[in-house]
A and B are shown apart, each in its own frame.
Chain A
Amino acid sequence: MKRLIVAALLAGTVFSHAASAFADNVSQYIPLPTYRVGAYASSGELWWAGERDYFRYINEVEGGVEGVKLDYEEFETEWSPDRTVEVYERVKAGKNGSPLAFFFTHGTPATYALLERAAADKIPLIDPAGGKTEAVDGTVFPYAFPLLFSYYSQASTGINYIASKVGGLDKLKGLKIATVYHDSAYGRASQPAVEVLAKKYGFENIQIPVADPGNEQSPQWRQIREQKPDWVFLRTWGVSTVVALKTAQRFGFPADHIVGDVWAGSESDVIPAGAAAIGYSALAPYPGGTEFGIHKKLKAEILDKGKSDLRDPKLFGAVNYNIGLVNAALAVEALRTGYKHFGARPLNGEEGRWAFEHLTINDRRLEEIGFKGLLQPIAITPTDHEGGGAARIQSWDGHKWVLQTDWIKADHELLNPLIKEGAAAYASEHSITPRTPQTETN
């Protein structure tokens, strides 16, 4: 018995590079570091289902990207950045003749952990609506892509939405806006932006930390009851969001004056909160819902044919599922951009970087791929790794998310100097010479 275990141990690690389902080498390898176990599995499993369903759709219905099939493979990480590092090391050499064009980190702490390594290995880290905000400046961070919506943009869009509710940006003066945040690097990530915005528009900026995991928040919301802010910006994650909403109800703070960030705006955050979440709004660079074009295609080809990775088909169109769809679509369109330039064959990291840095998806293309309204029009460049910086606002009505607005853009004029400053500081600390993309030939 023990011998069997020892043999299995050795065999397992020696053969951990076993052949995958695709034997031919005209497929692009896409490893997925996932988490289906642990505290964040509930969001994760929908995310991977969205990615897998879209990739499957591309492979089976569209015959791949420009003919190149996608070879995607999952690896469990339990959301631990250490384990994601191990997975990264395992897969960075690629598989079956296909190098790695990019690496989804699927989590901000994992991005932080892999930043220097990926830069050295020249593999782009893709972390939409997350990651290190300074990495928006691609001249210092050529291999980090906090796509779509950085933490600074989140703060700015949130403030813009609040302004629209009170009658204009000039009406923000004198208001009190409290940020209840998860006491971690993630939760604090938008503080610099909120500070700058508070100075510009003259609102009082109150910051209230919630220690992890945040299942008892009476002191924090009691403080809010005392200080009576006009609006609350919720920058929590996981169980702390649910408890925040319920405690807010207990202390009489109205849910429709709470705006949550991207990672506090999914079904797992509002369903357990019950009635306390009705009226709560969240920033949605990936709205929930099934009314988008892609859902109709997926329903016909994947969901109804039983090919979906979803364990519960009722969750089709959930926010986290749509996050997966958007992530996958970004990857596919980037690869397409790359294939058109380099040829329809698997790309490596440097080519992947080029591909992402020249990724443009306009309204017409969004219409074509069925993502209009679900994904914002984006244009990523070597100097701007965010590419869009806008979100819609959705509110929870007790049963589903209802979109309230179209795409609200962040105040990039205000935020860009902040980002450049942070990037420059990082560059000097790590002795990085910023690129000059105009001089690059590729």
Chain B
Amino acid sequence: MSMFLETLIGGLLAGAMYSLVAIGFVLIYKASGVFNYAQGSILLFGALTFVTLTENGVPAYGAIAITIALLIATAIAVEKLLLRPLTNRSPMTLFMATLGLSYVVEGVAQGIMGSQVRALNLGIEDLPIFIGDILISQFDLMAAGVALALVIALSLLFNRTRIGIQLRGVADDTRAALSLGIDINRIWQIVWAVAGIVGLVAGLLWGARQGVQFSLSLVVLKALPVLIIGGFTSIPGAIVGGLIVGAGESLAETYIGPFLGGGITPWFAYALALVFLFIRPSGLFGERSIERV
């Protein structure tokens, strides 16, 4: 029983790491209707910039500030050069454009900062905490805490600030928002910048876990099932989806895996997402805008 609980809790906490990544996607999708494949590369870019700066003697706070500034600049550039020219195009076109964007960001990031793997030390050693017989990862616990803090911060942003309300307006009904005089382009820039910062947080945590290297950008492939299950447009959905995917993967690998030879994690999350889609085509918390055939 304790093995089961440990697997479950461990999976849930791992899922919090997935949620962190998924939140960035939700922000962008909510405001601009784009599934931003480049979010993974932006994650890598943020973490790489931070690590390169700190390695060269810049103090941590300064490095964060500079990285955020660069991310804001990237957001503005993306809005001007990619989103605006591609307004009103199909979701597929936008998706392919973000795929192209991911190549650009990766190429620039690794071209300038090199492809060597970097260590990232956030000061939290990945040592176990024991509750009875159950082992819990200290690092994952902290990551879950960060995810929670982020959700709270974002909900404050959306509900209490003027920009946040404008953002929700744009997400709900773009044309109405336009008619109210809301500057859509400015909103998109802000959202992409916030998503970039969320990506930075996720990138730092993932980077501390596995080193800052190219494969960091592959976390986007884990975000998709999370988003499908939770809904593309809901941040609480991203959390719940992440928890479900994390716990599901962990339990499946431990209990179902041995019958299938192990190593089933790559496709299990997607199979899970597929099942969820059948039951709730717009995700658990997403908007019910999917028409039935």
Contacts and interface: CB of A to CB of B under 8 A. Distances in A.
When A and B assemble into the complex, do they touch directly, with CB atoms less than 8 Å apart? yes
Interface of A: 36-39, 41-42, 45, 183, 208-213, 215-216, 218-220, 222-223, 225-226, 238-239, 242-243, 246-247, 249-252, 268, 271-276, 311-312, 315
B3 A226 contact: yes
Given A37-B115, A312-B114, 16 more contacts: A37-B110, A42-B116, A42-B117, A183-B263, A209-B263, A216-B265, A219-B254, A222-B6, A222-B135, A250-B139, A251-B135, A272-B118, A272-B119, A272-B212, A311-B114, A312-B116
A271 B254 contact: no
Contact of B250 (A45, A219, A225, A243): A219
A38 B102 CA distance: 12
Given A218-B10, A250-B127, A271-B117, A223 B212 contact: no
Instruction: Say which size band chain B's interface belongs to.
Output: 35 or more
Contacts of A36: 115
B53 to A, nearest CB: 16
Contacts, number: 119
- Which of A212, A216, A225, A315 has the most chain B CB atoms inside 10 A of its CB? A216
Given A213-B215, A222-B254, A251-B135, A208 B110 contact: no
Contacts of A213: 215, 218
Interface in B113-146: 114-121, 125-128, 135, 137, 139
B280 interface: no
Nearest to A45: B115
Interface in B247-277: 249-250, 253-254, 257, 261-266
A313 to B, nearest CB: 13
A261 B120 CA distance: 24
Contacts of B137: 218, 250
B120 A272 contact: yes
Contact of B210 (A212, A239, A251): A239
A251 B136 CA distance: 9
B7 interface: yes
17 contacts: A37-B110, A211-B265, A213-B215, A216-B265, A218-B137, A219-B7, A219-B254, A238-B215, A242-B210, A243-B209, A252-B128, A268-B211, A272-B118, A272-B119, A272-B120, A272-B210, A315-B116
A214 to B, nearest CB: 9
Q: Give 10 nearest A-B pairs by CB, closest first.
A: A272-B211, A41-B115, A211-B263, A183-B263, A268-B117, A219-B253, A209-B262, A209-B263, A239-B215, A272-B119
Contacts of B174: none
Nearest to A215: B210
B119 A38 contact: no
A268 B213 CA distance: 9
Contact of A243 (B118, B210, B219): B210
Contact of A42 (B213, B219, B250): B213
Interface in B77-117: 107, 110, 114-117
A13 B21 CA distance: 41
Nearest to B257: A219
A243 B11 CA distance: 15
Nearest to B126: A250
B208 to A, nearest CB: 9
